[in-house]
Homo-oligomer: A and B are copies of this chain.
Amino acid sequence: MIRNVAIIGLGLLGGSIGLAIRDHAPDLRTTGFDRDPEVREAAKARGLVSAVCETAEDTVREADLVILCVPVGAMEEAARSFADALPDGVIVSDVGSSKQSVGKALAAALPGRTIIPAHPVAGTEQSGPEAGFSSLFTNRWCILTPEAGTDPAAIEAVTAFWTTLGANVEIMEAEHHDLVLAVTSHIPHLIAFTIVGTASDLEEVTRSEVIKYSAGGFRDFTRIAASDPVMWRDVFLSNKSAVLEMLGRFSEDLTALQRAIRSGDGDTLHDLFSRTRAIRRQVIEEGQDDDRPDFGRDDHG
């Protein structure tokens, strides 16, 4: 039974977990820590957790579940910072976007502990202690990637926890997770960062023109490319092999389209563009996006 949840890192994800617990599981007690004193102050002001602690060790002392909500490159150091204060029987989890590297980092920092790596597939382009909200996980998937041999009761407890916060839980191997998320999240982010960078560096087209005419499609990419730089740097470095593999596939396909444009092969373009339209319908049918045109932005229509 989970009664006390310790949240390490009080940004968008950590803060949203705290607020979601307050709304959906008010009987749980939450403690929280962030190494940035200003974030701790903001977390207190917003009431993200029941108690903001001054050290990571104090945060975890009575926890049944510790959730690391720090960039994936900072997981190991963060875990070491509270390792000596962990009580018996505690479950340690996280919210990192790559899972093989986090699994290894936590196993190295916390030998003998019950570790259940997790990734709630949810977020916005904003970050920091002001960015979280309690419905972030509603109808979103949370993927758990426990090693073979992990205590089934612990897996069940973490599953119940995320279900309470509104998420649907799925269990898969860390390696497969990293491949799937490379496609559905990491490559889309990398592409968005790239095109926004390309556009802002052009000599023939001014920055002001790029901004003014962004409603033609570019503005969607700027949203994704506004995501937290440290978080994303760490994601790409920690999921290097899957990202490079999927980037290779994408580049091949882009080259094929480039050739179709150059040779005036309209049928190839039309066939692809018709197929991709069908994927959008499935995303909406599965409840993974808003079905209003343009995401309902600007309250159009």
Q: Is residue A55 within 8 Å, beta carbon to beta carbon, of the partner chain?
A: no
The stretch of A3-11, A78-86, A196-204 in contact with B is A196-204
Q: Is residue A272 within 8 Å, beta carbon to beta carbon, of the partner chain?
A: yes
Closest to A273 in B: B229
Q: Which residues of B contact A273 (CB under 8 A)?
A: 193, 225, 227, 229, 232-233
Q: Is residue A22 within 8 Å, beta carbon to beta carbon, of the partner chain?
A: no
Closest to A296 in B: B297
Is A140 within 8 A of B244, CB to CB?
no
Is A211 within 8 A of B282, CB to CB?
yes
CA distance in complex: A221, B276 (Å):
10
Is A141 within 8 A of B297, CB to CB?
no
Is A269 within 8 A of B202, CB to CB?
no
CA distance in complex: A280, B127 (Å):
14
Query: Shortest beta-carbon distance, A49 to chain B, in Å?
Result: 19
Is A215 within 8 A of B183, CB to CB?
no
Q: Which residues of B contact A286 (CB under 8 A)?
A: 211-212
Is B185 within 8 A of A279, CB to CB?
no
CA distance in complex: A289, B273 (Å):
25
The copy count of this chain in the complex is 2
Is B184 within 8 A of A216, CB to CB?
yes
Is A196 within 8 A of B279, CB to CB?
yes
Q: Which residues of B contact A290 (CB under 8 A)?
A: 297-298
Is A237 within 8 A of B251, CB to CB?
no
Size range of the interface on A? 35 or more
Q: Is residue A108 within 8 Å, beta carbon to beta carbon, of the partner chain?
A: no
Is A222 within 8 A of B181, CB to CB?
no
Contacts A189-B217, A193-B273 known; list 20 others, CB within 8 Å: A123-B216, A124-B300, A141-B213, A183-B218, A184-B214, A184-B216, A188-B218, A193-B276, A197-B253, A199-B279, A215-B288, A220-B220, A226-B281, A229-B277, A233-B270, A237-B261, A247-B254, A247-B258, A251-B254, A296-B297
22 contacts between A and B (CB under 8 A): A97-B216, A124-B301, A133-B300, A141-B212, A180-B205, A180-B209, A183-B199, A183-B202, A184-B210, A186-B216, A188-B218, A189-B217, A191-B195, A198-B253, A212-B286, A215-B288, A220-B220, A226-B280, A230-B270, A251-B251, A289-B297, A297-B297
Identify which of residues 242-287 in chain A touch chain B, using a CB-to-CB cut-off of 8 Å: 243-244, 246-247, 249-251, 253-254, 257-258, 261-262, 264, 266, 269-270, 272-277, 279-283, 286
